[in-house]
Amino acid sequence: MCGRYAITLPPEAMQKLFAYGERPNFPPRYNIAPTQPVPVVRLDGGVRQFILMRWGFIPGWVKDVKSFPLVINVRGESAREKPSFRAAFIRRRCLMPADGFYEWHRTGQGRQSENHAFLFRRPDRGLFAFAALWETWHSPDGSEIDTVALVNGPANGLMSAIHDRCPVILDPRDYDAWLDPAATPDEAATLLRPPSEDLLEMVRIGTAVNKVVNDGPQVQEPFDASAAPAASAAPAPAPARHARKATRNPENDGQGSLF
């Protein structure tokens, strides 16, 4: 986890919270999936910058993206030591704005098993920011791709009912410290804490989120038990084998466990 998330508030709201200069026209997105371009806030010359990056971290040493696993989450506990993420943790920390994310919970076994989708959001519907790491990948043909993955850690009490991992959601008072390239890895690591118990609420939703093509408000509609038999025909997303594919089993957390 997390394998899907949302940014539905207007660009003005993002600009106000994250205090970057430009006001890009980023449309509402209700079902952002891996490998898609996502908004990122980073420091550039000491100034906060809004930029789009590919959600799927690619270390600089990778030669063939098609043979590299899709890394959308990085374990906060080990990111400082892993060769794939160590340099980014030291010098390329960033923020991924969001106002909701999704997680799936499997119940039952065998043919009787079901995947239930849940939306996690702030009760006031406000924005928040995932801690994240970015890297610019240089392809053999000379082109460049800016890539990013969010950082996760142990789940809080609310999230633990669904999954044992949770995205790290930074306190706004910690944005400067997380972005500061002068902060040591140990100092940055102290910011990687589970969300407070009152930060998020959990809402069971329907199956529309299972399909990447669904990207409107219907994705976040609460689960309707009366419509469950018809809705159950919509399967959970199929697993993706390669980073180039945007559809991925949301239960596969894309953990950054490389080396």
Distances (CA, A) of 177 to 170, 191, 219: 10, 8, 34
Instruction: Kindly give, in sequence order, each residue whose CB lies less than 8 Å from that of residue 30, ignoring residues fewer than 6 positions away.
Output: 6, 8, 214, 215, 216, 217, 219, 220
Catalytic residue among 94, 103, 135, 166: 103
Burial environment of residue 237 by CB neighbours within 10 A (0 to 12, 13 to 18, 19 or more): buried
DSSP string covering 127-156, please?
Answer: -EEEEEEEEEEEPTTS-EEEEEEEEEEE--
103 is catalytic: yes
The DSSP bridge partners found for residue 22 are none
Are 53 and 147 in contact by the 8 Å Cβ rule? The answer is: yes
Q: How many CB atoms lie within 10 A of CB 154?
A: 15
Rounded-to-integer distance, Cα 194 and Cα 166, Å:
7
Half-sphere exposure of 164 (CA within 13 A, CB side): 2
223 and 14 Cβ atoms separated by less than 8 Å:
no
Sheet of 114-121: strand order equals 29-32, 4-7, 100-107, 114-121, 201-205
Q: Which residues are catalytic?
A: 2, 103
